[in-house]
Amino acid sequence: MRRPGILARYWEWLDLPEHTVPLSLSEGDTPLIPMPRLAEALGGGFELFVKYEGLNPTGSFKDRGLAAAVGEAVGRGARTVICASTGNTAAATAAYAARAGVRALVLVPEGKIARGKLAGALAYGAQVVQVRGSFDHALALVREAVAHYPVALVNSINPYRLQGQQTAAFEIVDALGRAPDWLAIPVGNAGNITAYWMGFRAYHRAKGTGLPRLLGVQAAGAAPLVLGHPVENPETVATAIRIGKPARGAEALAAARESGGRIIAVPDEEILAMQRLLAAEGVWVEPASAAGLAGLAAEIRRAALDPRGKTIVAVVTGHGLKDPDAVLRTAGADLPTIEPVLDALTPWL
């Protein structure tokens, strides 16, 4: 059966203006995949699922938010949508703008966007402009542009982005029958964790489905919410979350605190190790997407979180294909090449 997309499925749950155009690329309805071997590797005795957001149409969770935000912008007459992006928002904005027949202008930090994302944004026909600086510089420029020109901002400062993205929380509760005990999630600009908390609370208010504790996870080189101050030159292999001044930082901290959870940071090596562990159980994600689970592993290891008897969901936010270089740089470096004869193959048999 065709999947109808998040606006059609959850329309009555979303606080969107009447004029919103119901855009859809059949986003959402992503699988909640059990990860028994990974749970065992983390000590066992609990249920672990990943919410595989890489299976959205453009390969990341951003499709949920952009369906709503571009739909709203187009409904009020916008002809150009604009965003700053570390890559995934760029591709999703480009796709939904293409779907709606409007122009997308996306600003990305020069040289710091994974190839699959840049290719995606270009393939969908966006105008891509590279900015000398980080995502934070690009977002500041976007804010300035919308103050002076008739272009619609679709970064997660736009409240409709969060309306769309909270549908992932609805889906998790719909699938489990209640909220999980913990939700582990990567944090960059901090819109997604804010949206999840909004979604879990809305469902809980209406249906008494419970609330998870939130474990938000930043990369150690880009961890303003852990350090308590902006980071001027954020640096991490997880380029998606290479952000030093998160726009929704205050809300994210409040959400984590209210939930009885926290926001922590993990080093790049642990993010990459978790990316490999996930792939070893069949789920390939981009580096940033492994951050939530890397944080969960760290918390369990230092006995700061007792998983036993719990149901834990980790949001894996983007597909591994988004960032092929992250794998090829290491695993692809020394591939053997042989003549097409059996003798040459025997060392591997």
Would you count residue 218 as binding ligand F0G (CB under 6 A)?
no
**30 near ligand F0G (CB under 6 A):** no
Residue 169 in contact with ligand F0G, rule: CB under 6 A: no
Nearest partner of 295 among 261, 269, 271, 326, judged by Cα: 271
Provide, rounded to whole angstroms, the least separation between the CB of residue 129 and ligand F0G. 14
Nearest CB to ligand F0G, comparing residues 46 and 218: 218
Told to check if 289 binds ligand F0G by CB under 6 A, we report yes
Interior angle at CA 287, CA 35 and CA 161, nearest 5: 90
Is 166 a binding residue for ligand F0G by CB under 6 A? The answer is: no
Q: Are 268 and 298 in contact (CB under 8 A)?
A: no
Structure tokens at 180: 């999980």
Q: What are the residues whose beta carbons fall under 8 Å from the beta carbon of 15, sequence distance 6 or more?
A: 159, 163
Residue 243 C-beta: closest distance to ligand F0G, Å: 6
Sequence-distant (≥ 6) Cβ neighbours of residue 227 within 8 angstroms: none
**Nearest distance from C-beta of residue 174 to ligand F0G, angstroms:** 21
Return the closest-CA partner of residue 74 out of 158, 11, 174, 4. Answer: 158
Q: Does 93 bind ligand F0G (CB under 6 A)?
A: no
Which residue of 24, 85, 158, 166 would you call a contact of ligand F0G, by CB under 6 A?
A: 85
**Sheet containing 127-131, strands listed edge to edge, beginning at the edge strand earlier in sequence:** 127-131, 103-109, 80-84, 152-153
190-209 residues near ligand F0G, rule: CB under 6 A: 190-192
Q: Enumerate residues 237-256 that contact ligand F0G by CB under 6 A.
A: 240-241
* Binding range to ligand F0G, per CB under 6 A, among 145-153, 186-194, 197-205, 305-313: 186-194
Q: Which span (6-14, 42-50, 68-76, 282-290) binds ligand F0G, by CB under 6 A?
A: 282-290
Position 317 contacts ligand F0G (CB under 6 A): yes
- What's the angle, vertex CA 229, arms to CA 260 and CA 189, rounded to 5? 70
Alpha helices (H) in 208-308, listed in sequence order: 224-227, 249-259, 268-279, 291-301
- Please, what is the minimum distance in Å from the beta carbon of residue 309 to ligand F0G? 28
DSSP assigned state of 312:
E
Between residues 241 and 274, which has the closer beta carbon with respect to ligand F0G? 241
Q: Which of 27, 270, 286, 299 binds ligand F0G (CB under 6 A)?
A: 286
Specify the residue, 109 or 180, whose C-beta has the smaller distance to ligand F0G.
109
C-alpha dist (Å) from residue 321 to 187, 270, 283, 315, 325 = 20, 20, 11, 17, 9
CB of 22 closer than 8 Å to CB of 3: no
Are 221 and 335 in contact by the 8 Å Cβ rule? The answer is: no
211 near ligand F0G, judged by CB under 6 A:
no
Under the criterion CB under 6 A, does residue 167 sit at the interface with ligand F0G? no
Q: Is 288 in the site for ligand F0G (CB under 6 A)?
A: yes
Q: Which residues bind ligand F0G (CB under 6 A)?
A: 60, 62, 85-89, 156, 186-192, 240-241, 286, 288-289, 317-318
